[in-house]
A and B are shown apart, each in its own frame.
Chain A
Amino acid sequence: MNALENTLEQKLAAVAASKPVPDEIVPDPAVLRSGWWAQYRRGWLSLLSLITVLGGWWGLSHSGIVPPLFLPSPEAVLAKLVTVSTQGFMDATLWQHLAASLQRIVLALAAAVLLGIPLGVLMGVSPVARGLLDPLIEAYRPVPPLAYLPLIVIWFGIGELSKVLLIFLAVLAPVIIATSHGVAQVSRNRLRAAQTLGASRSQLLWFVILPEALPEILTGIRIGLGTGWSTLVAAELVAATRGLGFMVQSAAQFLVTDVVILGIVVIAVIAFALELGLRLLQRRLAPWHGQQD
């Protein structure tokens, strides 16, 4: 209340002196209430829940209620991390499994971005393209990848192509949908302003439409990567000899539970790191996103 009166007084004073009102930057009261707890409250809470889960796991596995076959202790999994990293599991080290999976994900993602963004832009700017493509995308998007995996195997065999194709299809739909949504939402005033400044159609695309749709496109890629990871395990069911999904699958068949958990944790950590990286990229490339304008 006090701050409000102050700014009003400042405004009146500034008007009386017929000077422009200085920009008011009102700091978030939560930041003003400094202190290690208030400032990073969410971070602390996240840490607390992680510690609780880890502690529960440790306690349960050491209590003797659950046999190690079902729930190995955290130390056992950590020890396994060392042996799998150095000696390997199923003829490949953890890093080789990881590299195989990452390669598939990156290839599929690159292809989905290269095809998805142009298609999404086309759908965003052209009602004809939208009419033609929308039913196709909406028809395959809700189908679980495992359902069309057999068909892909019949058509493309059991090689690397089928695995990448399966992940690619899972990533493609969110990228196209987010891009077309972002493009269709571009502010009419910005387009018109650019037109009255002499922008050609291609200049509109490169200088207005794509930059404005960028935050949405990045969101689409983030969602696509999420579904891509969940498809990875399915893709590596098909005659794979390497990959994190394959490692977890074969470990499960031999009841090597600690490797199963290790694989799951590694997948979670990598996926989380990628998500964080993309969020950071989004904040770097589109700092205006979510700001009022």
Chain B
Amino acid sequence: MTILSANKVSVRYPGQARPALAGVSLAIGPDDLTVALGPSGCGKTTLLNLFAGFVQPDSGTISFAGQPVTGPGAERAVVFQHDALLPWLNVRDNVAFGLRLQGVAKAERLARADEVLRLVDLPEAGGRYSWQLSGGQRQRVGIARALASHSQVLLMDEPFGALDAFTREQMQELLLKVWQQARRRIFLITHDIEEALFLATELVLMSPGPGRIVETLRPGFSQRYRDGESARAIKSDPAFIALREQLLTTLFDHRRQAEEIAA
């Protein structure tokens, strides 16, 4: 069953010549980790903001469980790239924040926070503050917070874009583990081709001018990771590298076309 979908949505920001998104349709299926990949300006952030309810489409519809999305809601939690934890709360209270807003009793919500912190491999960090954590730890807290409040879909806005290469790899593996254990639909946007190929069950390739989906594929590498193969082995597999180069070529082709149209 499709729970979150975009149906022929278009968005044009005021003062922009081209639409940020033109006639995009996408459905996030059950047990899917959908990744939207594309260069800046391809509309992937706009698509995520539409799903989250931060932006409304000019035409077309966004629906969640059959109902149109009109604004942000607790069933669609967002993990941001940075700046989204509350620095005046410690890690536990940050993770329990959504439950506090919903009026869950203190003991219950803190117990839930500890449980989710164990899931993201941060069992000891509950009493610390976001400004005492490293970038990778902060993103884990962000993921834990999104999981704690019983959201049904995780929308991830370039969650590992600001991390160094080592930490990014660790976080990708952690995300696959969390996704498997928490059984949550995930929609993630990134401009990192390797990341998209490694994580996605469904990969949506997007291109700018106007922002649109140019290709959809199911790479299947995350399944191999779940079956026990190591991340490095997968990423250095010739099949992985060939697909990476193919995607890169497709993206460059589309970019050239867009530039020719613009000129």
Contact = CB atoms under 8 A, between A and B. Distances in A.
B83 A189 contact: yes
Given A192-B52, A192-B54, A197-B101, A293 B87 contact: yes
B82 A23 contact: no
Nearest to A285: B88
B83 A197 contact: no
Q: How large is the interface on B (under 10, 10 to 19, 20 to 34, 35 or more residues)?
A: 35 or more
B84 A189 contact: yes
A240 B101 CA distance: 52
Contacts of B151: 196
A148 B34 CA distance: 65
Given A15-B166, A194-B97, A288 B87 contact: yes
B101 A199 contact: yes
Nearest to B164: A11
Contacts of B246: none
A92 B69 CA distance: 70
A262 B56 CA distance: 66
Interface in A7-21: 11, 15, 18, 20-21
Contacts of B76: 196
Interface residues of A, number: 31
A286 interface: yes
Given A192-B78, A288-B88, A293-B131, A21 B166 contact: yes
A196 B73 contact: yes
A214 B71 CA distance: 28
Nearest to B170: A20
Nearest to A214: B88
A196 B88 contact: no
B83 A187 contact: yes
Contact of B101 (A15, A203, A287): A203
Contact of A196 (B77, B83, B85, B86): B77
B98 interface: yes
Nearest to A12: B166
B145 interface: yes
A236 B130 CA distance: 48
Contact of B167 (A21, A190, A203, A291): A21
A130 B43 CA distance: 33
Interface-central residue, B83, B101, B130, by most chain A CB under 10 Å:
B101
Interface string B69-112: 00111101110101111111000000001101110000000000
Contacts of A193: 78, 80, 84-85, 145
Nearest to A22: B134
Interface in B109-131: 121, 129-131
Interface string A281-293: 0000011100111
B149 interface: yes
Contacts of A287: 129
A198 interface: yes
Interface-central residue, B87, B131, B170, by most chain A CB under 10 Å:
B87
B209 to A, nearest CB: 26
Contacts of B129: 287-288
Contacts of A211: 86, 88
B174 to A, nearest CB: 9
A241 interface: no
Contacts of B169: 15
A195 interface: yes
A207 interface: yes
